[in-house]
Amino acid sequence: MKDISCKLLVIGAGPGGYVCAIRAGQLGIDTVIVEMAKPGGTCLNIGCIPSKALIHAAEEFDKIAHLASGRNALGITTTKPAIDLSQTIAWKDGIVGRLTGGVSGLLKRAKVKVVQGRARFRDGKTVEVETETGRQIIRAENVVIATGSVPVALPFLPFGGTVISSTEALSLSAVPDRLVVVGGGYIGLELGTAFAKMGAKVSIVEAQDRILPQYDAELTRPVSKRLKALGIEVMTGAKARGLAKSGGALLVEAEDGTEISLPADKILVTVGRRPVTQGWGLEELVLDMEGAFIRIDERCQTSMRGIYAIGDVTGEPMLAHRAMAQGEMVAEIVAGHKRAWDKRAIPAVCFTDPEIVSVGLAPDEAKKTGGETKLGLFPFLANGRAMTKQGEDGFVRVVARADNHLVLGIQAVGQGVSELAAAFGLAIEMGARLEDIAGTIHAHPTEGEAFQEAALKALGQELHI
């Protein structure tokens, strides 16, 4: 097979990798991308997109089931619903298929050469790829490592049979009667909530003293309330110990030290993700590491000239939009543009019920910067649009410096608040002050008005509370 030479080689066609390759192609860079599976990576194929499809289906089913119960304020009744999960999964797979096809089309339009197979470094400029038709050698002036991450497995709960990762959870053919989720982070809560809405009896086991420990307690309180309403059992300060001898239950050490057996048809382990640093010839390179992650500078440059790394393999936050922004930047650097990673804030969204959005600094983090702060919180209970959607449980919160009113952080929890992430991120990226947000006319009636009202509250000029 004839060797390939190129200016840029991207290893991994996840969100960061394919965006890097597309942008490089647009800039006229001779680019090759290697991917051993489908384009789109974890996010598109077995992560962000399919999980949101499942969450949406679960929400629709839950709405109909609520109407069928007769216990609703809207005066709508219907018959008891049923769900065919295999059909739901087929619908989800159709969405994924269209999107992966779209990515392939974009790569082709950008004149990016796609090589399917597993890449392995021979040295810092040479990679060999095992393809279906043989070994392909690729030599590149610049290389981008975008190999992503995979779910963390627990040694005493290896994946297989009853024990599943998020990947298997998104491909189940039927709703399990009893689901135990190990890990109370965003992945576990998103999927656990979805299956509870579809009729599963769900228990969540979290080792720390509360769920979603990466968010402050004020933000997670409405989520905890909703979990209880859905009948989801939440055990905090509890540690999974392994499968019962029968295999149909999870042994858990409760907070008080007692051992509990939780019956389970499926045990979903969501205790984090680890970077994929093995299997592609890392040992042939001399890369500085930060723990399990590849160390990079403000240009995503590794310790070896001409080798860049982006996305999950470089550390937290492991978010697709961070990888995309890094990929775009690296492509422009390779094209000779002067770029550096200088993001003020990266939005984080948790698609629980209700949803959580956080951009920038939380109140406690802002206080640690040393200066006095102002805080404004506006509840959705006083927002007309939220009330008409029966989604008034939640709020928008703005944190700013007290001296010049520069906005340091914005958080929200509530129904559909993920769509406010763009406005929040833009405000911080543009260096908005409280007066900028308060002085912007927000459309009525929308949940976005709560953003303006929170800024007004921080200024002491609140109107509707």
In 3D space, the residue among 216, 219, 226, 224 whose CA is nearest the CA of residue 395 turns out to be: 219
* 264 lies in some domain: yes
**Entry pTM:** 0.94
Q: Report pLDDT digits (tens) over 4-13.
A: 999 999 999 9
The verdict on residue 67 lying in a domain is no
pLDDT the model gives residue 144: 98
Kindly report each contact of residues 438-447 with a partner whose C-beta sits within 8 Å and lies 24 or more positions away, as own/partner: 444/384, 445/383, 445/384, 445/385, 445/388, 446/385, 447/380, 447/383, 447/385, 447/386, 447/391, 447/414, 447/416, 447/417, 447/420
- Domain boundary among the residues 283, 311, 334 is at 334
- Residue 78 falls within a domain, yes or no? no
What is the Cα–Cα distance from 18 to 266, expressed in whole angstroms? 34
Element (H, E) at 197: helix 186-197
- Both 35 and 113 in one domain: the answer is yes
Q: Does 292 lie in the same domain as 369?
A: no
Domains: count for the chain: 3
Domain ranges, residue 167: 163-271
Domain match, 267 and 287 both: no
Domain boundary among 295, 311, 334: 334
Residues 261, 382, single domain; the answer is no
Q: Are residues 360 and 234 in the same domain?
A: no
pLDDT at 390: 86
Q: Check which CATH number belongs to the domain holding 206 and give it.
A: 3.50.50.60
CATH number (domain holding residue 429): 3.30.390.30
Beta bridge mates, 8? 31, 142
Ordered mean pLDDT values, 10 residues apiece, the chain (465 residues)? 95 98 98 96 94 96 84 78 94 96 97 97 96 95 98 95 96 97 97 98 97 95 97 97 91 95 97 96 96 97 98 97 98 97 91 97 93 96 93 95 97 97 97 98 97 98 93
Same domain, 20 and 137: yes
Do 231 and 198 belong together in one domain?
Answer: yes
Half-sphere exposure of 192 (CA within 13 A, CB side): 35
Whether 178 maps to a domain, the answer reads: yes
Q: Are residues 305 and 202 located together in one domain of the fold?
A: no
Residue 256 and residue 281 in one domain: no
Q: How far apart are CA 119 and CA 25, in angstroms?
A: 20
Q: Which of 247, 271, 295 is the last residue of a domain?
A: 271
In a domain, 289, yes or no: yes
Radius of gyration of the chain (CA): 24
How large is the angle between the packed helices 320-334 and 15-26, nearest 10 degrees?
30
359: three-class secondary structure by DSSP: strand
Same-domain check for residues 407 and 322: no
Instruction: Kindly state whether residues 234 and 321 are assigned to the same domain.
Output: no
Instruction: Tell me the pLDDT tens digit for each residue of 233-292.
Output: 999 999 999 999 887 999 999 999 999 999 999 999 999 999 999 999 999 999 999 999
The set of catalytic residues is 444
In a domain, residue 341? The reply is no
Within-domain flag for 416: yes
- Does residue 108 sit in the same domain as residue 236? no
Residue 339 lies in a domain: no
Instruction: Dump pLDDT digits (tens) for 94-109.
Output: 999 999 999 999 999 9
